[in-house]
Structure 1
Amino acid sequence: MKNLHRHHYHKIRSGSRLFLSARTNYSAASSKLVVGGKTYEDIPKVVYNIAPPMDHKKELYVEHNTRLPSILSALEKAKLTPEFRGSEIVQLNSSRKATLKDIQSVHYSNYLSILKKFVEDAKSGKPKPKSSDLTFAMQGFQYVTATSYEVSLAAAGSGLSLVDFAVAASKINENCPVGFALMPPPMHHVLRTESGGCCYFENAGIAARYAQRVHGLNRVLIIDFDVHYLSHTNDAFYDDPDIFVLSTHWDEGYHGKFDDTGSGRGEGATLNLPLPEGSGDIAMQSVFDEVIVPCAQKFKPDIIIVSAGYDGHVVDPTGSFQLTTGTYFTLASGIKQLAKDLCGGRCVFFLEGGESEGVVSFSVAESFRAFVGEQSMAPEFEKKYAFFLHDEPINKVKQAIQRTKHLHSI
């Protein structure tokens, strides 16, 4: 078995700044955290939010309504919920929805109109444009139901609540909790003008703009480790110098290329690192050490937002990597430390892809273990998958990393 959980990350000094929040009450005398009208006596290590599941029941459709319950079951089994951890792990009971202003910060109004129309058609029982119940009129063969729009607003809102919490906590204690938005559906492939790949709103991007607009966190680092290229995030911020988008993904050859580095004032603030098929734990560890850490250090973000996709796992049918849950543990540990060193601990993870429910569920649990500072349980879990692992294309990986470092002067 290969390098399942090497706990290696760089310590980075920071001159991070703190900002006032219109949504947060802070008393320096009491040092109590007050968010959304609720007082927290202790600063938790993890705070998470659960958005309502999509009403998607079609078999074999990637975003199925059993995905979130499977994750929650894994967290309970691992005793990584408030019931077992008290104030160490907090679940927000926020039913907040993103506003139209939040959504329009990254999506065009005509797209929202189209999405609403499909939802209204679903409510009224109008026939689909095609004979199946997959709607091809929206790119990426979207499955639209009567609740898709409202649930998507709630999913986006759950992430914004976590941004509020992270900002508030960082003003009181340097050990700011890591936020994790457990939400459907993923948001990886939606564009400003159209949906795609099971996605409706680009929640990570919406949170980035919200952090800037509401909390004054001007410099946002978005780290993506989903196996697929994050179409919308690159599209939305391609000319923005204050949002650094760093995506490592499978090299499919036709998008997310090395020289897609931004435009205009945003030149250099987009980093795409396509990796060869078969990349695994060694490749991702190298990417973290040689690319993610120095880029974060150079950019000096005010908050880190993570598009956390678990479809790079060796047994996931949608990707072509051979990562293990141990690497997801290591990534979570390293990114948490980066946030602590660079931006007062402000960091929010957003659940992305992963079709193998058992693997996604355990990998999310591993991320939680990393956040609370526990030992990884990945070696035990990975025993049954060891025979899937094979030699990584290390030379190709090194070439990809070197090309990226050259383009971005790392």
Structure 2
Amino acid sequence: MKVAYIYDPIYLKHDTGHHVENARRLEAITSHLEQSGLRQKLTLIKPRAATAEELALVHHKQHILNIQQVAQAGGGWLDADTVMSADSYQAALYAAGGAMRATKAVMTGEVDSAFALVRPPGHHATPHQAMGFCLFNNAAIAAKYALAKYKLERILIIDFDVHHGNGTQEIFYDSPEVLYISSHQYPLYPGTGNIDETGEGKARGTTINIPLPAGCGDNEYLAAFEQIITPAARRFKPQLILVSAGYDCHWADELALMQVSVGGFARMVNIIKGLADELGGGRLVFTLEGGYNLNALAASVGATLAVLLGKENIEDPLGKPRQLAAPDIAPLIRTIKKTHNLP
């Protein structure tokens, strides 16, 4: 099993200062890969910069120009959450390019699966706006690239970041060739991602939102994966699976109120890997989104890569979350299944 990770120190040059989305996130991940011995089992692939034409597959030209101009001016705040430095535009080009390079490696059989360890993250970025720490939508650009380059007809994007990927949803809301499934805490930033947001026109039904209440842990997420994501994927029959991998639903992450463990992430990834093997010839690409507790993030990314390499039974090195009464999501799952006519 040949598994790659895409990484370059240029991602550290997106200097956000003391912002919660900072370079220490990738430093923690790469340090963990080295210390755990995982790095030696993986193939390192260097990213390339996305071209303006590739960014324009997703983003309005004025948005691209705005990001470039802010960087040229030395950086600054784009909104209350999203900040840039002078090198952020270049880092963002390599983040989008890293997601595309990972996709190319998988589509050409260079590797079996790949994880783009990139920043800035992407899933909140809309065609015309940077927001939620995101400048360009890396996963969406990779999907558009794969559709055009490899003439694919069906791509599944699974987004398990604790925040709804409003940008990815908006980009593909009228695109029947992309099935977007998001599991996220609701209500929470950015306020989108309710059950009744299902797509429009010929794409109605190709957006599936799983708005989970605060307090959900491994069992609730696995129920959502087994009872919603799995049958939806089997019906759609994707030729490629892209994953917006955000680890901020870990119990130690302070940006949300979920209770997922590292072992829970491993089991979720194992389900996704099984779907890729069953439906898409094993073609599977992860791209990094959120996750802000450094120890939890590093361990969870490591667990993801370990599962892709074939390891099972991964425990959480941070221990177990405090025991809270888990919410009953059975009615929610029934409603989503009814909305989308899932078995």
- Secondary structure of the 1:307 match is strand
* Runs of 4+ off more than 4 Å: 56-59
Name the residue aligned to 2:39.
Answer: 81
| 1:294 and 2:231 matched | yes
Mapping of 1:9-408 within 5 angstroms?
44-51=1-8, 52-82=10-40, 85=41, 89-92=42-45, 94-122=46-74, 135=77, 138-169=78-109, 177-252=112-187, 254-379=191-316, 381-383=317-319, 385-386=320-321, 388-394=322-328, 397-408=329-340
- Secondary structure of the 2:297 match is helix
Query: One-letter code of the match for 1:192?
Result: P
Q: CA deviation at 1:199?
A: 0.5
CA RMSD of superposed structures (Å): 1.6
Contact 2:14 2:120 in 1 (8 A): no
Q: TM-score, normalised by structure 1?
A: 0.80
Unaligned runs of 5+ in 2: none
Q: CA deviation at 1:140?
A: 4.5
Contact 1:241 1:266 in 2 (8 A): yes
CA displacement 1:146-201 (0-9 Å, x = unmatched): 1111110011111111111111118xxxxx62210000111121111110011101
Contact 2:47 2:101 in 1 (8 A): no
- Secondary structure of the 1:350 match is strand
The whole-number CA distance in structure 2 between the counterparts of 1:95 and 1:286 is 35
The whole-number CA distance in structure 2 between the counterparts of 1:189 and 1:161 is 21
The whole-number CA distance in structure 2 between the counterparts of 1:321 and 1:344 is 32
Choose 366-375 or 209-218, whichever is displaced more: 366-375
- Secondary structure of the 1:53 match is helix
Q: CA deviation at 1:315?
A: 1.1
The whole-number CA distance in structure 1 between the counterparts of 2:178 and 2:314 is 34
CA displacement 1:117-164 (0-9 Å, x = unmatched): 1111117xxxxxxxxxx51xx234321111111110011111111111
Q: CA deviation at 1:375?
A: 3.1
The whole-number CA distance in structure 2 between the counterparts of 1:331 and 1:377 is 12
Q: CA deviation at 1:391?
A: 2.0
The whole-number CA distance in structure 1 between the counterparts of 2:20 and 2:124 is 13
Choose 61-70 or 307-316, whichever is displaced more: 61-70
Q: TM-score, normalised by structure 2?
A: 0.95
The whole-number CA distance in structure 1 between the counterparts of 2:194 and 2:300 is 28
Contact 1:314 1:389 in 2 (8 A): no
Contact 1:369 1:376 in 2 (8 A): no
Contact 1:188 1:199 in 2 (8 A): yes
Query: One-letter code of the match for 2:115?
Result: F
Q: Max radius of gyration: which structure?
A: 1
Contact 2:15 2:84 in 1 (8 A): no
- Secondary structure of the 1:295 match is helix
* More relative contact order, 1 or 2 (CA 8 Å, 6+ apart): 1
Q: How many residues align?
A: 339
Query: One-letter code of the match for 2:334?
Result: Q
Identity across matched positions, percent: 33
The whole-number CA distance in structure 1 between the counterparts of 2:148 and 2:16 is 38
Contact 1:314 1:320 in 2 (8 A): yes
Query: One-letter code of the match for 2:332?
Result: A
Query: One-letter code of the match for 1:90?
Result: T
- Secondary structure of the 2:286 match is strand
- Secondary structure of the 2:58 match is coil
